[in-house]
């Protein structure tokens, strides 16, 4: 099963992708995570992407399409994947269709996670992760049980994304509405788009997604 989680930054795509990964034995393909790894490693791609990411702009389509094409070619994707953060433009959506068709693969479901912009700003500016295990927290909605100590691994170092600032979030949301939301009709036309209410609690959103996948 190959699935796309589509939605604005902060909609919960990463959180839900990690849950689907475990439940359905799928691979999460987060282009944001791949780019952050490229920035951290100092690779050519990372150097090209860093300033665009920090400003809340998209990385050019040609770089993103070849990044995902190489990743989908890896054997661990053969049993199914969840795309989280790709495609983000119509050109990326069309390129994805072509690469899947070449490999004899197909998309089963595109799930739109709907969340209002004002909620997203609060969600994104308050979020942080454990530097050791990556567990996610939030200043208001999900604090560790013991202040300063990760519930999952006991780590005491936490980090915030460089682009999770109030100012950059506004640009990222504008970019989503201008460049990514126009993909929705593309998948609607193919009859594989389903929407879930991303403002519900995390478990309820998972239940909604499971219902969509059960019917896919």
DSSP string, 46-115: HHHHHHHHHHTPPPPHHHHHHHHHHHHTSGGGTT-EEEES---SHHHHHHHHHHHHHHT----EEEEEE-
CA 205-206-208 angle, to 5 degrees, is 65
127 is a contact residue toward ligand AMP (CB under 6 A): no
Regarding 35 and contact with ligand AMP (CB under 6 A), the answer is yes
The yes or no reply on residue 9 touching ligand AMP (CB under 6 A) is yes
Compute how many residues bind ligand AMP; rule: CB under 6 A: 17
**Residues 150, 157 contacting (CB under 8 angstroms):** no
Shortest spacing between CB 172 and ligand AMP, in angstroms: 5
**Alpha-carbon gap, residue 85 to 183, rounded angstroms:** 13
> CB under 6 A: which stretch of 49-57, 94-102, 192-200, 206-214 binds ligand AMP?
49-57
Report, in Å, the least distance between residue 129 CB and ligand AMP: 12
User: Crossing angle for the helix pair 202-215 and 13-24, nearest 10 degrees?
Assistant: 50
Q: Whose Cβ is closer to ligand AMP: residue 31's or residue 109's?
A: 31
Instruction: State which of residues 172, 187, 193, 198 lies at the interface with ligand AMP (CB under 6 A).
Output: 172
Q: Per CB under 6 A, does 12 bind ligand AMP?
A: no
120 belongs to the binding site for ligand AMP (CB under 6 A): no
Q: Give the Cα separation of 67 and 99 in Å (integer).
A: 12
Q: Is 86 in the site for ligand AMP (CB under 6 A)?
A: yes
List residues near ligand AMP by CB under 6 A: 9, 31-32, 35, 52-53, 56-59, 64, 85-86, 88, 92, 163, 172
């Amino acid at each position: 099963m190959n699935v796309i989680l589509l939605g604005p930054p902060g909609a919960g795509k990463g959180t839900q992708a990690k849950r689907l990964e475990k439940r359905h034995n799928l691979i999460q393909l987060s282009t944001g995570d791949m780019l952050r790894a490229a920035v951290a490693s100092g690779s050519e791609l990372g150097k090209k992407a860093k300033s665009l990411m920090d400003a809340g702009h998209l990385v050019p389509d040609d770089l993103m399409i070849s990044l995902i094409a190489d990743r989908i070619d890896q054997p661990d994707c053969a049993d199914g994947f969840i795309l989280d953060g790709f495609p983000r433009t119509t050109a990326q959506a069309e390129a994805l269709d072509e690469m899947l068709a070449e490999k004899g693969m197909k998309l089963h479901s595109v799930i739109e996670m709907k969340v209002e912009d004002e909620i997203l700003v609060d969600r994104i500016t308050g979020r942080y992760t454990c530097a050791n295990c990556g567990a996610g927290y939030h200043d208001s909605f999900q604090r560790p049980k013991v202040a300063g100590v990760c519930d999952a691994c006991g780590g005491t170092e936490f980090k915030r994304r460089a682009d999770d600032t109030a100012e950059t979030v506004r640009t990222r949301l504008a970019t989503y509405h201008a460049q990514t939301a126009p993909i929705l009709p593309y998948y609607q036309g193919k009859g594989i788009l389903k929407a879930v209410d991303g403002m519900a609690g995390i478990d309820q959103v998972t239940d909604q997604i499971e219902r969509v996948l059960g019917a896919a």
